[in-house]
A and B are shown apart, each in its own frame.
Chain A
Amino acid sequence: MTDLNESELKVFVDAVKNYFSHLTSDAVLIRAAYLSNTLISHHDYTGLITISGRFRGCVYFSAPARLLRALLHALREPDTSEDNLLDAVGEIANTIAGNARKHFGTSLTISIPVTIRGVPEQIKSAARARSFAIVLNWSGYDATVIVDLAPVDSFTS
């Protein structure tokens, strides 16, 4: 089985663009997409989806509190408590990973989201030597999607 190719990575870029354009009037700008080093810095809140099936690894969405508050405001959600900021970051990660199934099908099994509060100094890439990082800007705030996936057979070969 081959590694993730360009069109497969674009699936995640399209998913995050679709999320914000569908729910808000502000489009997402993709500022950069690159292979990151093994250590990845994150924002205030991170939502993490564990992937199993044909691929193994994680998809993360990490954002500052200000972006999440602005998103909740755009969704007419008055409660911008920390619980809801965590909920939002998990739901975004879940939607990005779930939408990727349109391309990958049921071979991409996704977990319920795990959410992390605070700025973890660094999260080490687990599945790949270098993860794919997508840096986006929405409504003036930067956020990051990390795609840390590798085909299952790359673990056994």
Chain B
Amino acid sequence: MRILIVDDSNIIRARIARIALHPQLRKLNIVGLARNGVEAIEICRRITPDLVTMDLTMPEMDGISCIKKLIDHDSMINILVVSALNDKTTAIHALKAGARGFLHKPFSDEQLVSALIEVMN
């Protein structure tokens, strides 16, 4: 499965990329890293990922807007939101927009592995 990592933090992008190498996620192949929604959409025009980890609070284009555009482009895409916004309303908005899962920051390696496996399945 091809995974695209979207987050405006260098550290978070790198951390998710490292965790994606976990033995339980060996099916995953990282195909792109994006710093905001605009970059994510640009990458998705060239490569259709199967799975996207999506931050919400980002410059240029926020995560919810990006999720809607990605779902319009490919309704089968699996999107896991990874965000510090931990209120219920935001989670509901993300899921209504088309996300398949929601993981709150800060997250442990194990929590991300579990969340990715759940969304992939």
Contact residues, B11-31 vs A (CB, 8 A): 11-12, 14-15, 18
| B90 CB contacts on chain A under 8 angstroms | 101, 106
Contact residues, A19-68 vs B (CB, 8 A): 19, 22-23
Cα separation A91 to B48 with both chains bound (whole Å): 28
Q: Quick check: is A137 within 8 A (CB to CB) of the other chain?
A: no
Q: Quick check: is A8 within 8 A (CB to CB) of the other chain?
A: no
Q: Of B10, B15, B87, B106, which one neighbours A18 at CB under 8 angstroms?
A: B106
Assuming the contacts A79-B14, A101-B86, asked whether A112 and B107 have C-beta atoms less than 8 A apart, the reply is no
Cα separation A98 to B83 with both chains bound (whole Å): 8
Q: Quick check: is A119 within 8 A (CB to CB) of the other chain?
A: no
Interface size class of A (residues with CB under 8 A): 20 to 34
Q: Is the CB of A97 within 8 A of B84?
A: yes
Chain A 82-121 interface mask (CB, 8 Å, partner B; 1/0): 0110011011001101110110111000111000000000
Assuming the contacts A22-B108, A98-B84, A106-B89, asked whether A91 and B11 have C-beta atoms less than 8 A apart, the reply is yes
> Least Cβ distance of A107 to chain B in Å?
9
Q: Is the CB of A84 within 8 A of B57?
A: no
| B89 CB contacts on chain A under 8 angstroms | 105-106
Q: Is the CB of A99 within 8 A of B9?
A: no
Stretch of A69-77, A128-136, A143-151 lying at the B interface: A69-77
> Least Cβ distance of B14 to chain A in Å?
6
